[in-house]
């Protein structure tokens, strides 16, 4: 049997059969979902009824200020700050003399700082009230007519149709693309560190356990290194696939909690059945849900997942070889690893910074080049891809990026194998980056 | 035909010549001692013989052919000085894995492991982990994994370090048994008393060069200083003769050093003439340890020896 295969098998099986692997694989998505649910729950629960006293001597707001679900306004003539101790969470003082004066401002008194949400809500309602007042008083329009116009204006949305070479029309959605790109880029960033560090620890373990020399007297150091990298990579892919399955499972569980008739309506709307849409127009929640479902289905998931796996695997291979080289140079002291890891972690951290920029401007020169150079392409390209191929990312860029990543992986592996071969048998000496560089380019 | 022939082997590292033109050959079935102080180049030499390093110059032939690391390492068992095992792996699986890496099939490896585990009373260890073993126990396991695949050439670098006398004897017996069964053993160490006990032939390297090569007996003869111990009921201080000098007294015995060209019989004749009743008369050969220290410390003897080489 092939010796590299034996090594891969050992590396894979020892890790997959560990309790920590099983726990982290199954608990991570559940924990993540739990945290998200908890955050949403807390945010929603935290919003309390706020009762606000309004002193509005000149009647600037009385007819125009709309209460909200969490906000209640009470117009009290002669309201002052003493009301704060009588169950009111804020006192709003309108300017004493008309709206024309710029020196006069609204003032709001509170016991404690208002939450961002409450403050924003008050500000919006105040603006709306003043706007309505101006339109009705100066524009001569009735309040009812203006309200109707405004609610209609709110309903207008637009579908962004991206023209691909003049023939095909695809629905683009920058919001979803942003989220997917950001998520995918971040996921690759995490996995590079997670599994890269795992490779480094594995190599360090073999070196400090003194098994390295025993093994390299049976197999070539390069086989040992590649076996470890591929074995751990397979662990990563396994974990990723299990996570995807779990997430798909969990989301279909969420589907169970949505009432059946709502789902039916949503499906009907997506199919564009006339009449069905009209019947549910009043139902805001259904609308939002339908829209989310529609935009999510506009993303080419198979393509994205396929590309993700490619960049996940080759990005990992590209960096894992470098991590292995560092692991081989480290002696007992894990502190050494920190400084030697710097040249590897820096490009990864740069990539994540560029990625955050790329999701907002996927066509910028920085994003384009960073998505082609193999040091940053796994993270940055994943951030650009959801914006559309070949709309935002032309085919040649994708091909160039993939080819240079594969070539880059061969390069780092070749380089690392030379460092690894020397480092793994070197004991007791503190190795510097300069020495590692020499090992890598020594000819023999 | 020699199992291993090493011809003019050279290996440089950036700063020094680790191995500088070393040649020797080893007959099959022999136990060969590779000696030298720390940093002499023993490990580098062994790493070339096991195919871990490529020599810069020189050649190695294994079993009559040019050494082909890829195929021939299946015939070599190597226990490095810096050795260890996977701490978290079960002992049975570990032995199986290492044997398979050496090219054994799973079934063959299982049979060999069972055989060895029974012989060394390790059957109950199968499901234990290395971290649960004592140092001596893991040394034993290490030895078993080195010889499992019935190698023709076994290279043991400091095999007894960390072993108690009982386990050291156990391993020593196994080494003799393997040699009797036809395996050749290279035994690398700087513990001379073990070499004297085990090895027939030795090579001593110092600072990358070979400084001594021969059988243990021959080397001792070469380095003898014509010292004799005379057990006699007499006062050695009164012996005045041009034949020898008395250089000491130890355990009721006088230590004498013969002058060049003086034979034993002349000495005995003199002693008999003196009316000494002789109880014993033995030549004192130098221990390998003495020879080792003498050469390595660069005494005049060593230099003379070097020049005559």
Q: Nearest to residue A201, comparing CAs of A341, A53, A88, A23? A: A341
Q: What pLDDT is attached to residue A264?
A: 62
Q: Are the Cβ atoms of B98 and A214 closer than 8 angstroms?
A: yes
**E strand segments, A100-232:** 107-110, 160-164, 168-172
Please write the tens of the pLDDT for every residue from A375-391. Answer: 999 999 988 888 877 77
List of E strands, A111-265: 160-164, 168-172
- The token pair at B254 is 């006088």
Residue A84 structure tokens: 């704060």
A71-75: strand order across its sheet: A71-75, A50-55, A90-93, A107-110
pLDDT score, position B135: 81
Interface size A-B, in CB pairs within 8 Å, comes to 58
Q: H-type helices in A55-138, by residue range?
A: 116-138
**CATH number of the structural domain spanning residue B261:** 3.30.70
Coil, helix or strand at residue A270:
helix
Q: Is B303 within a domain?
A: no
Chain A residue with Cα closest to B88: A14
Per-residue pLDDT at B254 exceeds 80: yes
The predicted model gives B69-75 an average pLDDT of 85
Q: Which residue has the higher pLDDT, A263 or A203?
A: A203
Q: How many residues appear in chain A?
A: 444
Is the residue at B289 inside a domain? no
Give B92-116 pLDDT, tens digit per residue: 999 999 999 988 899 999 999 999 9
Query: For the CA atoms of A114, A117, A120, A126, what is the dihedral angle to 10 degrees?
Result: -80
Q: State the pLDDT at residue A247.
A: 78
Which residue in B73, B79, B87 is closest to A218 by CB distance? B73
Whether residue A281 is predicted with pLDDT greater than 50 in this model: the reply is no
Is residue B210 helix, strand or coil? Answer: strand
Q: What is the DSSP string of B185-196?
A: EEEEES-HHHHH
The rounded mean pLDDT for chain A is 79
Each residue's pLDDT tens digit, B133-177: 888 888 889 999 999 989 999 999 988 887 888 888 888 899 999
B72: closest chain A residue by CA: A218
Residues of chain A with pLDDT > 70: what percent?
80
**pLDDT score for A267:** 60
Chain A residues within an 8 Å CB radius of B90:
none
Q: Are residues B181 and B89 in the same domain?
A: yes
Helix (H) or strand (E) holding B25: strand B17-26
Residues B60 and B169 in one domain: yes
| Residues 420-439 (A) with a CB less than 8 A from some CB of B | 425, 427, 438
Interface predicted TM-score (ipTM)? 0.79
Tell me what the mean pLDDT of segment A175-197 comes to. 87
Q: Which residue has the tokens 């193999």?
A: A374
| Maximum mean pLDDT: which of A9-23, A91-105, A383-397 | A9-23
Domain limits at B267?
225-284
Residue B138, pLDDT score: 85
Last residue of a domain, one of B174, B196, B220: B220
The candidate with the shortest Cα–Cα distance to B23, out of B211, B185, B155, is B211
Window from A80-84, B118-122, B192-196, B251-255 with minimum mean pLDDT: A80-84
Q: Beginning with the edge strand found earlier in the chain, give each strand of the sheet holding B4-12 in spatial order.
A: B17-26, B4-12, B57-62, B65-66
Residue B307 inside a domain? The answer is: no
Between the alpha carbon of residue B27 and those of residues B5, B62, B63, B182, B188, the distances in Å are 9, 11, 10, 11, 16
B21, pLDDT greater than 50: yes
Residues of B in contact with A14 (CB under 8 A): 86, 88-89
Residue with tokens 């013989």: B49
pLDDT by residue (tens digit) across B50-61?
A: 888 888 889 999
Averaged pLDDT for residues A391-415? 91
Residues B10 and B154 in one domain: yes
Residues of chain A found within 8 Å of residue B97, distances taken between Cβ atoms: 6, 10
Instruction: Give me B18's structure tokens.
Output: 């680790």
- Please say whether the beta carbons of B119 and B140 come within 8 A: no
pLDDT tens digits along A349-385: 999 999 988 888 888 899 999 999 999 999 999 888 8
- Whether the CB-CB separation of A76 and A53 falls below 8 Å is answered with yes
Q: In a 3-state reduction of DSSP, which class is residue B215? A: strand
State the distance between the two ends of chain B, measured CA to CA, in whole angstroms.
25
Is B207 found in the same domain as B94? yes
Residue A335 tokens, joined: 């502190």
B120 and B203 housed in the same domain: yes
Shortest Cα distance from A229 to chain B (angstroms)?
17
Report yes or no on B296 lying in a domain.
Answer: no
**Residue located via tokens 């099959």:** B28
Number of separate domains in chain B: 2
Query: What is the pairing mode between strands A90-93 and A168-172?
Result: unpaired
Do B110 and B19 reside in the same domain of the chain? yes
Q: HSE (CB half, 13 Å, CA atoms) of B230? A: 28
pLDDT for A153 equals 74
CB atoms within 10 A of CB A292: 13
A102-122 burial: b if 16+ Cβ within 10 Å, else e = eeeeeeeebeeebeeebeebb
Please say if the pLDDT value at position A265 is more than 70. Answer: no
Is residue A144 scored above 50 in pLDDT?
yes
Tell me, yes or no, whether B132 and B215 share the same domain. Answer: yes
In a domain, B292, yes or no: no
Regarding whether B233 and B207 lie in a shared domain, the answer is: no
Read off the DSSP letter of residue A115. Answer: P
B203 and B239 housed in the same domain:
no
Q: Residue B260 has which token pair?
A: 């060049």
C-alpha distances out from residue B49 to A3, A213, A221, B7, B11, Å: 20, 13, 16, 11, 12
Residue B74 has pLDDT above 50, yes or no: yes
User: Which of B187, B220, B253 marks a domain boundary?
Assistant: B220
- Residue B192 and residue B64 share a domain: yes
pLDDT of residue A159: 64
Candidates A205, A218, A435, A440, partner chain B, best to mutate (most B CBs within 10 A): A218
Q: Is the pLDDT reported for residue A404 higher than 60?
A: yes
> Which of B13, B52, B90 would you mutate first to test chain A, the one with the most A CBs within 10 A?
B52
**Residue of chain B nearest A428, judged by CA positions:** B82
Query: A160-164 and A168-172: which strand pairing?
Result: antiparallel
The structure tokens listed for B43 are 């490990």
Domain of residue B100, CATH code: 3.40.50.300
- What is the per-residue pLDDT across A152-181, written as a single tens digit (0 to 9) for each? 776 666 666 666 544 333 445 667 778 888
Query: Six-digit token pair at A273?
Result: 């059945």
Q: Which of A3, A211, A444 sits opposite B86 (nearest CB)?
A: A211
Domains of chain A: 49-146 (3.40.190.10), 166-441 (no CATH)
Q: Give the model confidence (pLDDT) of A210-254 as tens digits.
A: 888 889 888 888 999 999 999 999 999 998 888 888 877 877 776
CA dist., res. A262 & res. B257, Å (int): 112
Please name the residues in contact with A47: beta carbons below 8 A apart, sequence gap of 6 or more.
Answer: A70, A115, A117, A118
Which of A95-109, B203-217, B233-247 is least confident? A95-109
Tokens of A316: 């990992």
Residues of B in contact with A13 (CB under 8 A): none
Task: Name the residue among A14, A219, A425 with its Cβ closest to that of B89.
Answer: A14
What confidence category does residue A295 fall into, taking pLDDT thresholds of 50, 70 and 90?
low
Domain for residue B298, yes or no? no
B64 and B139 share a domain? yes
**Cβ neighbours around A188 below 10 Å, total:** 26
The predicted structure's pLDDT at residue A226: 93
Does residue B308 lie in a domain region?
no
User: Does any domain span residue B62?
Assistant: yes
d(C-alpha B176, C-alpha A320), whole Å: 45
CA–CA dist B234, B245 (Å, integer): 16
Interatomic CA distance for residues A34 and A22, integer angstroms: 18
- pLDDT at residue A286, rounded to an integer: 61
SS3 A164: strand
Q: Do A3 and B85 touch (CB under 8 A)?
A: no
pLDDT tens-place string over residues B287-309: 888 888 888 886 443 333 333 33
Looking at the structure, tell me whether residues B103 and B231 fall in a common domain: no
Residue with tokens 């080419």: A300
On whether any CB of chain B is under 8 Å from the CB of A51, the answer is: no
Tell me if the bond preceding A390 is cis, omega within 30° of 0.
yes
Which of the listed residues B178, B202, B220 is the one where a domain comes to its end?
A: B220
Per the CB < 8 A criterion, the answer to whether B38 and B190 are in contact is yes
H/E element holding A421?
helix A395-423
R_g of chain B computed on alpha carbons:
24
Torsion, Cα of B250, B251, B254, B258 (10° steps): -70
For residue B14, is pLDDT > 80?
no
Torsions phi, psi of A168, nearest 5? -90, 145
pLDDT for residue A261? 58
């Amino acid at each position: 049997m092939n010796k590299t295969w034996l090594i891969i098998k050992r590396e894979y099986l020892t890790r997959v059969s560990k309790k920590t692997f099983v726990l982290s694989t199954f608990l991570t998505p559940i924990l993540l979902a739990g945290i998200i649910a908890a955050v949403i729950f807390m945010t929603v629960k935290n919003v309390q009824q706020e009762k606000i006293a309004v002193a509005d001597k000149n009647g600037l707001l009385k007819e125009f200020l709309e209460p909200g679900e969490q906000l209640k306004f009470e117009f009290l003539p002669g309201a002052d700050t003493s009301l704060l101790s009588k169950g009111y969470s804020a006192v709003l003082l309108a300017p004493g003399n008309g709206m024309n004066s710029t020196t006069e401002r609204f003032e709001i008194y509170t016991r404690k700082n208002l939450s961002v949400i409450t403050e924003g809500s008050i500000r919006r309602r105040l603006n709306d009230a003043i706007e309505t007042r101006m339109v009705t008083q100066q524009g001569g329009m009735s309040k009812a007519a203006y309200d109707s116009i405004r609610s209609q204006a709110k309903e207008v949305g637009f579908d962004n149709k991206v023209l691909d070479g003049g023939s095909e029309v695809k629905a683009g959605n920058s919001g979803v693309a942003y989220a997917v790109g950001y998520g995918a880029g971040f996921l690759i960033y995490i996995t590079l560190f997670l599994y890269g560090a795992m490779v480094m620890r594995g190599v360090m373990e073999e070196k400090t356990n003194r098994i390295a020399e025993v093994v390299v007297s049976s197999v070539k150091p390069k086989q040992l290194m590649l076996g470890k990298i591929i074995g751990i990579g397979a662990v990563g892919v396994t974990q990723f696939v299990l996570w995807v399955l779990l997430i798909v499972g969990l989301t279909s569980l969420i589907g169970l909690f949505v009432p059946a008739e709502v789902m039916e309506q949503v499906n009907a709307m997506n199919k564009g059945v006339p009449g069905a849409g009209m019947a549910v127009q009043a139902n805001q929640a259904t609308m939002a849900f339908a829209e989310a479902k529609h935009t999510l289905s506009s993303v080419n998931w198979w393509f994205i997942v396929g590309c993700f796996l490619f960049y996940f695997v080759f990005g990992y291979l590209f960096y894992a070889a470098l991590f292995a080289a560092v692991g081989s140079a480290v002696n007992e002291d894990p502190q050494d690893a920190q400084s030697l890891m710097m040249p590897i972690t820096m490009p990864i951290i740069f990539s994540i910074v560029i990625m955050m920029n790329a999701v907002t401007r996927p066509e910028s020169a920085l994003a384009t080049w960073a998505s082609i150079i193999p040091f940053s392409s796994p993270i940055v390209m994943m951030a650009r891809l959801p914006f559309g191929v070949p709309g935002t990312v032309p085919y040649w860029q994708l091909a160039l990026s993939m080819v240079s990543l594969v070539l880059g992986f061969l390069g780092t592996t070749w380089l690392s194998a030379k460092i690894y071969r020397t480092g793994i048998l070197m004991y007791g000496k503190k190795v510097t980056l300069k020495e590692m560089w020499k090992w890598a380019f020594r000819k023999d | 035909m020699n199992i291993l022939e090493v011809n003019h082997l050279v290996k440089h590292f950036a700063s020094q010549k680790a191995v500088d033109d070393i040649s020797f050959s080893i007959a099959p079935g022999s136990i060969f001692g590779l000696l030298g102080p720390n940093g002499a180049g023993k490990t580098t030499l062994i790493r070339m013989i096991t195919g871990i390093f490529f020599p810069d110059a020189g050649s190695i032939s294994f079993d009559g052919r040019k050494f082909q690391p890829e195929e021939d390492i299946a015939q070599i068992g190597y226990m490095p000085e810096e050795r260890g095992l996977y701490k978290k792996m079960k002992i049975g699986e570990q032995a199986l894995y290492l044997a398979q890496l050496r090219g054994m099939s799973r079934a063959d490896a299982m049979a060999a492991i069972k055989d060895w585990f029974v012989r060394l009373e390790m059957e109950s260890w199968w499901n234990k982990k290395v971290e649960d073993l004592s140092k001596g126990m893991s040394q034993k396991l290490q030895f078993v994994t080195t010889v499992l695949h019935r190698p023709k050439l076994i290279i043991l670098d400091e095999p007894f370090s960390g072993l108690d006398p009982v386990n050291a004897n156990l391993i020593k017996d196994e080494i003799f048994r393997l040699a009797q069964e036809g395996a050749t053993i290279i035994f690398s160490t700087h513990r001379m008393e073990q070499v004297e006990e085990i090895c027939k032939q030795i090579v001593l390297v110092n600072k990358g060069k070979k400084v001594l090569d021969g059988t243990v007996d021959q080397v001792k003869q070469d380095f003898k200083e014509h010292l004799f111990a005379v057990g006699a009921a007499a006062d050695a201080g009164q012996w005045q003769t041009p034949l020898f000098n008395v250089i000491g007294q130890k355990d009721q015995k006088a230590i004498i050093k013969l002058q060049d060209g003086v034979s034993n019989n002349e000495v005995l004749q003199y002693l008999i003439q003196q009316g000494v009743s002789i109880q014993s008369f033995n030549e004192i050969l130098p221990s390998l340890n003495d020879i080792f220290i003498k050469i390595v410390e660069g005494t005049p003897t060593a230099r003379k020896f070097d020049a005559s080489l």
